[in-house]
Structure 1
Amino acid sequence: MTLTSSDPTVHSAYRYGALALLLAAGAIAIALGYQHLGGLEPCELCLKQRYAYYAGVPLLFLALVSLSAGQTRVAALLFGLVALGFLGNAGLGVYHAGVEWKFWEGPTACSGAQQITANAGNMLDALKQTNVVRCDDAAWRFIGLSFAGWNVLASLFIAFLGARAASETVHPR
């Protein structure tokens, strides 16, 4: 499906939305690649941060299709929902990065002191059953930022692009 409108503002909204889609799909592909190809298992908070991408990618696609079909209100609504979702995801990323830097406590299921059994006979069984990836220990950093930190930046940028696409759809400049 191609964008047939000659209106340059629609093209501008489409470009912002398409860039948001490309970045969101690329970010989740990188995360899944590190997990499945690189063996870097995600923690509980990492998995929760993926929800915005799992929802955002198809919503952005639908928004672009709606925009191409001339359904500007639907497209603007979808772009706006994506922007809000990624803004919330950036907040979750800040929380996760703060847990990694020990600014505050994380979820008890994946950070802080882990429960150790007092019974030595049960210890081996407990170790075999426990596969918890810690939320308060960044497994990877690039230029000082963990995946959580990079997710904050990516989510804020995708939120900006989604908001800009919604704005360009409703109020062309």
Structure 2
Amino acid sequence: MILTPLLNRWRLAALVVSAAMLATAHAFQTFGGYQPCTLCLRQREVYWVVGTIALAFMFLVRLPGGARFRQLTCWILGLGFLVSFAVATYHAGAEWKFWPGPSTCSSAGSAGVSAQAMQDLLNGAKIKPPACDQVVWSLFGLSMAGWNALISLGLVGLSALAALNERSKP
């Protein structure tokens, strides 16, 4: 099977994918000027957690007796990617107006970066984050949240395949 090398190193692959997703999000912010909304930040938090867990699992399975946890670690990583899928789907649904987004980030705009905005911030004004229900970038009709949902769903499937692959090992 062409995926076998990837599935044999799934904990490492999950760590690399999580880091790549975070790097992509930060690149959109840094180089594209797209400020993250509240749900964008939640999606990033999931990848931080999954990446951290993947790293810990890489050590766990190498401990004496740790090999017995190899299949379980893949299922747990799959659960983490399922959470990522859920958060991204919720975000994409809010963008498509299928359901309301969180009240902390609705379409009301955000304060621009100006001298007055900075002074207002120093005086204690609250600056509203970008709206979660507005698509600011899309490719082939899918927003960043939509692409994240598709990628996360694929990662859930790969995690399940990796778990089944671990089960077939002696």
Which range, TM-score by smaller chain?
A: 0.7 to 0.9
Change (3 A) 1:68 1:160: farther
Q: Percent identity?
A: 36
- Residues 42-71 of structure 1: per-residue CA shift (max 9 Å, x gap): 100111111221011122233334445572
Query: Shift in Å at residue 99 of structure 1?
Result: 0.6
Of 62-71 and 31-40, deviating more is: 62-71
1:58-92 Cα deviation digits (max 9, x unpaired): 22233334445572233322222111111122111
**Conserved in 2, the CA contact under 8 Å of 1:77 and 1:166?**
yes
Indicate which of 6, 30, 33 corresponds to 1:36. 30
Alignment match of 2:42 (pick from 40, 48, 51): 48
Q: Say whether residues 1:19 and 2:16 are aligned partners.
A: no
Does the CA contact (< 8 Å) of 1:110 and 1:132 recur in 2?
yes
d(CA) in 2 for partners of 1:58 and 1:83? 14
3-state SS of paired residue (1:48): helix
Where 1:50 maps in the other structure, the secondary structure is: helix
Deviation track 1:5-59 (CA, whole Å, cap 9, x = no partner) reads xxxxx96642444433332221111001212333211100111111221011122
- Select the structure of larger CA radius of gyration: 1
1:90 alignment partner in structure 2: 85
Q: Counterpart in 2 of 1:4? A: none
Q: Paired residue for 1:165?
A: 162
Aligned to 2:150: 153
Q: Distance in 2 between matches of 1:75 and 1:11?
A: 15
- Structure 1 residues 51 and 125: alpha-carbon distance in aligned structure 2, compared to 1, 3 A threshold: closer
Contact 2:43 2:88 in 1 (8 A): yes
Q: Is the 8 A contact 2:6 2:13 kept in 1?
A: no
Specify every segment of 5 or more residues in structure 2 that has no aligned partner in the other structure, as ranges: 110-118
Question: Structure 1: where are the runs of 5+ without partners?
Answer: 1-9, 115-123
- TM-score of the pair, normalised by structure 2: 0.76
Task: Provide the C-alpha distance between the structure 2 equivalents of 1:150 and 1:169, rounded to a whole number of angstroms.
Answer: 28
Q: Which has the higher contact order (CA 8 A, sep 6+)?
A: 1
* Counterpart residue number, 2:113: none
Pairs aligned (count): 154
TM-score, normalised on structure 1?
A: 0.75
